[in-house]
Structure 1
Amino acid sequence: MSTVIEQAVEARLIASAPRMPSIPATLRYDARDPYAVRMAFPAPATLEGVDVSWTFARDLLTAGVDRAAGDGDVRVRPYGYDRTVLEFHAPEGTAIVHVRTAALRRFLGRAAAAVPAGREHAHLDVDGDLAELLRDAC
């Protein structure tokens, strides 16, 4: 059985269109994909008017609550004493959101309780994943 952790957070949208002062977002961690976290945004908060989900490294989020981290499509850094900034870069534009650091730490603590950092490899099913990839190759 897989462990899935979901946590609702309030994100304050800083750069977006249409402009919304704050939006609900959902953080998700699945032990079957132990290195990743997902952050989902509802359709009204996106340029395309569809739900959008970003997947990025759990380590990136963990590092970013304490210091600037990331140099790709997702960047995370502390902001003030109680907020963390997440930047999402795409060809369509950049979205910048502030999330309460305490909410991120709570989520990361729950994820670490499910899969401790450094033990992610024990939760991978490499044989099963490889079999699924090769299933249609024959």
Structure 2
Amino acid sequence: MDTVLYLLGRQIKVPVFATFRYKESDPFAVSIDFIFDGTVTSWKFARELIKEGLRQPSGQGDITIWTAANDAKSYSIYFRLHSTEGVTIMEGDFHSISQWLEQSYMIIPCGAESLSIDWEVILRKFFEKD
């Protein structure tokens, strides 16, 4: 899903193009590519974190997610991203991100992620000798 998130600063909101991705080959994870000023920055984290963040403040460490009402009819979702370079807070549309998450469950349902992993291949690679 391509969308615009807003980088929140003191007194300003800066639009940042973002691409949300979900791959069947990595069923537990989601990726967000942020494109700003010609630079792409990618973050990868648990799909479950977005699910939880849509309901209650979630996460700790590098990524936290929460929601807040803008007015009586609209909500935003917030992503706090912490890296060695600092902390960034991004704001996105609650409805479009929750819809995207629901679409990801059409690819692999919530709770069925481990069923899509070829555990034999993973174990074989793990026990291979160099």
Runs of 4 or more consecutive aligned structure 1 residues displaced over 4 Å after TM superposition: 132-135
Other structure's SS at 1:51 match: strand
Identity %: 25
Could you tell me the TM-score, scaled by structure 1's length?
Answer: 0.81
State the shift of 1:15 in Å. 4.0
Whether 2:8 is the aligned partner of 1:14: answer yes
Structure 1: unaligned runs, 5 residues or longer: 1-6
Per the alignment, residue 110 of structure 2 pairs with 117
Whether 2:58 is the aligned partner of 1:65: answer no
User: 1:27-65 CA distances to partner (integer Å, 9 max, x unpaired)?
Assistant: 000011111100111152xxxx63111011111001101
State the shift of 1:71 in Å. 1.0
State the shift of 1:129 in Å. 3.0
Aligned equivalents of 1:102, 1:36: Cα separation in 2: 20
Other structure's SS at 2:39 match: coil
* Larger proportion of strand: 2
One-letter identity of the residue aligned with 2:105: A
Could you tell me the TM-score, scaled by structure 2's length?
Answer: 0.86
Equivalenced residue count is 125
One-letter identity of the residue aligned with 1:122: L
State the shift of 1:131 in Å. 3.8
Aligned equivalents of 2:66, 2:20: Cα separation in 1: 17
One-letter identity of the residue aligned with 1:35: F
Give the conservation status (yes or no) of the 8 Å contact 2:51–2:101.
yes
State the shift of 1:106 in Å. 1.1
Other structure's SS at 1:127 match: helix
Structure 2: unaligned runs, 5 residues or longer: none
